[in-house]
Structure 1
């Protein structure tokens, strides 16, 4: 489409994404306190379409509970889930992806109440049934993804010829009782790995997964030191759990857990498969019953952590020596919900829109998410648009103009460096693709 344009690429952008440089910049920001930054960022989430407006919705999100997401928040959440899934199923360890039911008809006595599922009740059913009978028959909503994996253990154990270790990965909705004491279930998006290994290696495998998970969280962080791990005290361990570790994020209001890793022993397997002990024995030379390790992550809180971690505040002097703050969501290129914004400069509007539409289609085909800023009819200056896109976490702003019609050249501004460069329109897809790939390898 644009092959007739003259090629002229200037590539002086700082290539790739460096969390180390970003971390230093973050510490050099303005004098705002942590709580001030918290309020600024929470309002920013609403203004820039990460979450829906409303005090109650913002509070849900702040607590790490599933809330009403806007278009950018929805895409960011999908990106986080995609990267988590890729890290698990694409690792060198043998991990199978599974999908289990959100509800269970297991009776309360069958699991001893240990799974903690809130119940979903229909008013008409309550009127028709005896209350005690209704509680016995009604499905229970899961509070975690562990039971579903344990239920699938024997089929997958036989699939791998009873050889250890192996794991099961799953993401999905779970329901937990509200912390406000109302007794109402709240929805949480969980990501879970259940790892089965021999008893003699379970401690080493737990250490391995703690290192892997902490490395994963820090990979996407602007300030990696805000992510840490800590062992659970013995008085917080329940049942057959012998050891536990939390991966934490330091929010302005305090540390909150993002993932919990537990060495659960063989208790769940023995409980689930009473009378089938022989089917649980592995073929690793000792014929032992596998130990179960669980990694349970809260994706909603993880999304909140990445957003808080990416906030940059730059003080700058504006007109009449007034101090203004430039807010930037420096999200990792793999997580940024929008990679490129397309805008129009000076020139024939109809022709320039046609160029933008063609470029937008090419970006979609290359699976590079783009924002159609050229459809914005508000009287915003280019500087105002750049500030808006910085707050949305968009990596690059591309402006087409009459120069594009004449020579195929566009202006490309980087979110991270604010440098504006001129390059040929035919080079854009390749440039953006290489930029994102380079960030993935860091």
Structure 2
């Protein structure tokens, strides 16, 4: 069903000039803010970004097409391929694990994407109305302007609101959650999911995958909790980075402070075109909570020591789609490499952290009887998947491909290990395992592969 997405209410005003407001692209804005780089540095940054976008399109991270690439670079959801979807899933899982598992007082919730009625979301909202009803109203020529405005307002108010953030859901779940903590501060509610936000100043919403923590705490400790969560989140982003120094923490000052917020902090990544926020933290006071629950202080009060107070809020909101882009940018390495004939090639590899890498093992066949080798590959693939290790069925490929071409492909995909099963595997059970990070090939027994990869991932997680 077609639908119109209308932000808040549309008012017809003949006195409003028909002008188009355009905003500079993010690349131009950041370049203006941070000054002009040298031409050599600009060229290198541009080449790095173009190379990454081409890899993402060629190696199943995002669906090919300019629209997807533009959305991806803006930090909004796009058409993900199997590799990109798995990477985003891994980031979300680790985010959730780090927040929920960090403290006993954090609980997970799930709220609806849409809601009926005219309640206003704290951060604004979008309305979804039926296109047929909208079209029917607009074609009624006997209606005056005032009548048309009134009918449109009624239509919008009856439509569903789609969420633009996850904050409102946590505020609404605050009172039912008080029993979990016996009305004792502090505690938090975490959620992850799709939201709809405007892009580049446009009134048309785009999907964004967000992860949110809303932390309810004593008014006297809200500033300390903001610092605590800022440190916690920065360390988490750096944990999985190849170059941790690209991630940093900055204070939000002056006019950038959101209405109702007393302090703000951003976890940012230094992209070639400038710094972009991955997570934003706000110390918001208790106005949003009072507004959501109509100022009923008695039911909102919690125990802070011997006192009863209406808690203040520290909100943490992460843009997971931009996080995917940041980790891909951070992991791409380009280096000169000599092939078997001593010819120099540029080796491009996504050195994603073992925990985040979408595929841990790629299985391919070497020389030998095709049917028997395929059966061995299928058996090992099943064993890896049952052990929770993601594997890529490279043996599906029927076109003849050299090992150098395969290695190049899997390096660009970010695959950690390439396993080649050949006729020697049928005879002795031995196979060859190549490491993405070292390019070293070693021989091991087929029965050792799962434990070898599992130990490697576990060791990387504990660093």
Q: What TM-score comes out, normalization by structure 2 length?
A: 0.85
Show the 5 A alignment for 1:359-374: 359-374=380-395
CA contact (8 A) 1:97 1:168 kept: yes
Structure-2 residue corresponding to 1:394: 415
2:427 to 406, 419, 426: 406
Structure-2 residue corresponding to 1:199: 219
Distance in 1, Cα, partners of 2:85 & 2:197: 21
2:377 to 342, 349, 356: 356
Distance in 2, Cα, partners of 1:177 & 1:230: 24
1:432 and 2:443 correspond? no
Whose relative contact order is higher, 1 or 2, with alpha carbons under 8 Å and at least 6 apart?
1
Distance in 1, Cα, partners of 2:97 & 2:77: 22
The structure-2 alpha-carbon separation of the partners of 1:72 and 1:423, relative to structure 1 and needing over 3 Å to count, comes to same
Distance in 2, Cα, partners of 1:399 & 1:102: 45
Structure-1 residue corresponding to 2:26: none
Structure-2 residue corresponding to 1:158: 179
Structure-2 residue corresponding to 1:40: 51
Tell me the secondary structure at the aligned position of residue 367 of structure 1.
Answer: coil
CA contact (8 A) 1:230 1:247 kept: yes
The structure-2 alpha-carbon separation of the partners of 1:326 and 1:31, relative to structure 1 and needing over 3 Å to count, comes to farther
Distance in 1, Cα, partners of 2:320 & 2:59: 20
Q: What TM-score comes out, normalization by structure 1 length?
A: 0.89
- 1:128 to partner: Cα distance: 5.5
Structure-2 residue corresponding to 1:119: 127
Structure-1 residue corresponding to 2:168: 147
CA contact (8 A) 2:430 2:443 kept: yes
Tell me the secondary structure at the aligned position of residue 218 of structure 1.
Answer: helix
Tell me the secondary structure at the aligned position of residue 308 of structure 2.
Answer: coil
CA contact (8 A) 2:105 2:181 kept: no
Structure-2 residue corresponding to 1:77: 88
CA contact (8 A) 1:229 1:246 kept: yes
User: Which segment is superposed worse, 128-137 or 288-297?
Assistant: 128-137
- 1:235 to partner: Cα distance: 2.0
Structure-2 residue corresponding to 1:8: none
Tell me the secondary structure at the aligned position of residue 287 of structure 1.
Answer: strand
CA contact (8 A) 1:195 1:294 kept: yes
- 1:115 to partner: Cα distance: 2.3
Structure-2 residue corresponding to 1:262: 282
The structure-2 alpha-carbon separation of the partners of 1:246 and 1:56, relative to structure 1 and needing over 3 Å to count, comes to same
Structure-1 residue corresponding to 2:14: none
Structure-2 residue corresponding to 1:308: 329
1:95 to 99, 106, 110: 106
CA contact (8 A) 2:117 2:157 kept: no
Distance in 2, Cα, partners of 1:75 & 1:317: 31
- 1:31 to partner: Cα distance: 12
Structure-1 residue corresponding to 2:358: 337
1:244 to 264, 277, 284: 264
Distance in 2, Cα, partners of 1:75 & 1:148: 27
Tell me the secondary structure at the aligned position of residue 116 of structure 1.
Answer: coil
| Superimposed CA distance per residue, residues 371-404 of structure 1 (whole angstroms, 9 cap, x where no aligned partner) | 1111211121011101100100000001111111
CA contact (8 A) 2:265 2:281 kept: yes
User: Which segment is superposed worse, 97-106 or 67-76?
Assistant: 97-106
Tell me the secondary structure at the aligned position of residue 127 of structure 2.
Answer: coil
1:189 and 2:209 correspond? yes
CA contact (8 A) 2:166 2:195 kept: yes
Distance in 1, Cα, partners of 2:78 & 2:204: 15
Structure-2 residue corresponding to 1:53: 64
Structure-1 residue corresponding to 2:30: none
Distance in 1, Cα, partners of 2:238 & 2:206: 28
What RMSD, in angstroms, separates the aligned Cα atoms of the two structures? 1.7
Distance in 2, Cα, partners of 1:404 & 1:320: 27
User: Which segment is superposed worse, 280-289 or 219-228?
Assistant: 280-289
Distance in 2, Cα, partners of 1:90 & 1:240: 29
| Superimposed CA distance per residue, residues 192-240 of structure 1 (whole angstroms, 9 cap, x where no aligned partner) | 0000011111111111100110001001100000000100013222332
Distance in 2, Cα, partners of 1:234 & 1:426: 61
- 1:146 to partner: Cα distance: 0.2
Distance in 1, Cα, partners of 2:247 & 2:165: 23
What count of residue pairs does the alignment treat as equivalent? 409
| Superimposed CA distance per residue, residues 301-321 of structure 1 (whole angstroms, 9 cap, x where no aligned partner) | 000000000001011345887
User: Which segment is superposed worse, 277-286 or 288-297?
Assistant: 277-286
Structure-1 residue corresponding to 2:237: 217
